């Protein structure tokens, strides 16, 4: 009976030492995947924010709809893009967390145009 109890403690101690290694390996896998897909993810985020800013700006300042109503015009998969309106500047800024941000401003005679991108 004493042998069984001791064996159970060894197994438990082994498991408790194994968890930090499992977490470290999972972290490294997630980090490697994020590093590998950083260029496509950045491109998709930039495209999503540019599209959303321009469409929301047109919806808000050309069509005259409320920004909350304009959020319905986003395409599927753009749920992480947030929209912020600046009524004084007549612009809408779209942001994708930690990756991209774009602003479109209303210009009379031109409609809504994106601000220049930095290279």
Residue 82, number of CB atoms within 10 A of its CB: 14
CB 105 within 8 A of CB 57: yes
Q: What is the pLDDT of residue 10?
A: 56
DSSP result, 38-55: HHHHHHHHHHHHHHHHHH
Q: Which runs of consecutive H residues, i.e. helices, occur in the chain?
A: 2-36, 38-57, 67-70
Residue ranges per domain, the chain?
A: 38-114
Whose CA is closest to 84, among 99, 102, 72, 107? 102
Helix (H, G, I), strand (E, B) or coil at 107: strand
Task: Evaluate if residue 1 carries a pLDDT over 60.
Answer: no
**Tens digit of each residue's pLDDT (9 = 90 or more) over 19-61:** 888 999 999 999 998 888 888 888 999 999 999 999 999 999 9
Task: Give the rounded percent of residues in the chain with a pLDDT score beyond 70.
Answer: 84
Which pTM value belongs to this model?
0.70
71 Cβ neighbours under 8 A, 6+ residues apart: 56, 83
């Amino acid at each position: 009976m004493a042998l069984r109890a001791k064996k159970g403690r060894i197994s438990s101690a082994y498991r408790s030492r194994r968890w930090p290694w499992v977490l470290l390996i999972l972290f490294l896998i997630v980090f490697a995947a994020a590093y590998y897909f950083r260029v496509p993810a950045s491109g998709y985020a930039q495209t999503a924010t540019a599209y959303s800013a321009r469409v929301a700006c047109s919806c808000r300042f050309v069509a005259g709809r409320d920004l909350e109503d304009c959020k319905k015009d986003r395409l599927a998969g753009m749920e992480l893009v947030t929209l912020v309106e600046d009524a004084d500047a007549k612009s809408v800024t779209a942001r994708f967390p930690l990756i991209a941000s774009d602003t479109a401003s209303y210009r009379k005679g031109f409609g809504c145009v994106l601000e220049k991108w930095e290279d």
